[in-house]
Each structure stands twice: as structure tokens, then as C-alpha cells.
């Protein structure tokens, strides 16, 4: 019964493995784009599921004990808490981790280079316009891709041309 709870690898190694994998995934996902979880395409979901399976062995090592699994999960949760707390406290870290908003449209003019860099299609932009109730591109003052992956649309004032 002791084998069920006691990790088969040293505790420090389990902690190190969990920290390294967490940081790798966090950084990798940060640089893959600004999509929200709710905006994931089926391709994005498949990548996340495969990624989770691929890194599983990197975290658990040669250990299938219950204690080792719980320790790994606790370390990942603690790392997540620490990153959230640090990004809340330090604006420069928050900017590094979350990025900055990207202006996609200004006074009806679409910045195609920025859309391409952020992997935002014209269909994505048009969907955001419909969701905001804005009629057409000529009625858009600003459209901004936010850090969280949403597109905010600010219409032109009714009396502006």
C-alpha cells in the first residue's frame, strides 16, 4: 500500500519536472496567438489534447504512484497561482505574458498586416462586427484584438462621417 502513495522518483525531480513543463507550455501557448479558449478551433483543441498527452510522461517520469500524480498536479496548480499573482502585481510581466492589444481597424481602414500577424481572418473580423451590431467596416472607428483574444469594436459616432 505504501507504493501507492510514495513517488517512484525523488520529490525534487517530480517538482522540477512539473515546473519545467508548466513554464514550457505557458510560454509556448503565449507565443501561438491570442485566441480565447472559447474561440478555439477544432484544430486548436486537437493540438491541446495531444500536447497534454505528449508532456504527461515528462511530468510523471517513471512514476505512476498516486502520491506522485497528486504532487505533480499540486505543483502545476501552485505554479499557475504564482504566475497569476505575479502578472497581477507586475505590469511589465503582465504585458510580457498577455501581450498588448492590436489595432486591426481604424476609421474603417483594415490593417491587413496586423491581421495576418495575429492570424485573424476577415471572417473573424466580420463576425466581431456582427456581434457588436456594427453595420459595416465604414462604420467602425476602432476594432482591437484584445489580450484575451476577443475583438472589441468601437463604432463611429452617429453624426461623424
Kindly provide the b/e burial profile for residues 18-33, where b requires at least 16 CB atoms within 10 angstroms of the residue's own CB. bbebbeeeeeeeeeee
- DSSP-assigned letter for residue 149: S
Kindly provide the b/e burial profile for residues 47-82, where b requires at least 16 CB atoms within 10 angstroms of the residue's own CB. eeeeeeeebeeebbbebebebbeebbeebbeebeee
Q: What is the pTM assigned to this prediction? A: 0.68
Domains of the chain (ranges; CATH) run 2-97 (no CATH), 102-155 (3.30.240.20)
pLDDT at 98 (0 to 100): 77
Across the chain, which has 161 residues, the per-10-residue mean pLDDT values are 74 90 85 63 79 83 82 90 92 84 93 91 91 87 88 80 52
Query: Which residues are CB-neighbours of 88 under 8 A, at least 6 positions away?
Result: 94
pLDDT at 86 (0 to 100): 93
pLDDT at 45 (0 to 100): 77
- For helices 66-89 and 11-30, the axis angle rounded to 10 degrees is 50
Amino acid at each position: 500500500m505504501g507504493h501507492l502513495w510514495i513517488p517512484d522518483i525523488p520529490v525534487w525531480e517530480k517538482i522540477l519536472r512539473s515546473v519545467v513543463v508548466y513554464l514550457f507550455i505557458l510560454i509556448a501557448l503565449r507565443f501561438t496567438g491570442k485566441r480565447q479558449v472559447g474561440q478555439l478551433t477544432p484544430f486548436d483543441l486537437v493540438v491541446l489534447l495531444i500536447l497534454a498527452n505528449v508532456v504527461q510522461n515528462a511530468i510523471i517520469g517513471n512514476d505512476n504512484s498516486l502520491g506522485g500524480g497528486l504532487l505533480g498536479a499540486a505543483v502545476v496548480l501552485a505554479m499557475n497561482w504564482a504566475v497569476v499573482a505575479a502578472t497581477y502585481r507586475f505590469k511589465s510581466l503582465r504585458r510580457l505574458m498577455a501581450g498588448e492589444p492590436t489595432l486591426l481597424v481604424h476609421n474603417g481602414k483594415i490593417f491587413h498586416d496586423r491581421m495576418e500577424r495575429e492570424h485573424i481572418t476577415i471572417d473573424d473580423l466580420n463576425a466581431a462586427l456582427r456581434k457588436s451590431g456594427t453595420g459595416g467596416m465604414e462604420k467602425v472607428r476602432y476594432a482591437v484584438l484584445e489580450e484575451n483574444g476577443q475583438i472589441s469594436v468601437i463604432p463611429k459616432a452617429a453624426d461623424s462621417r
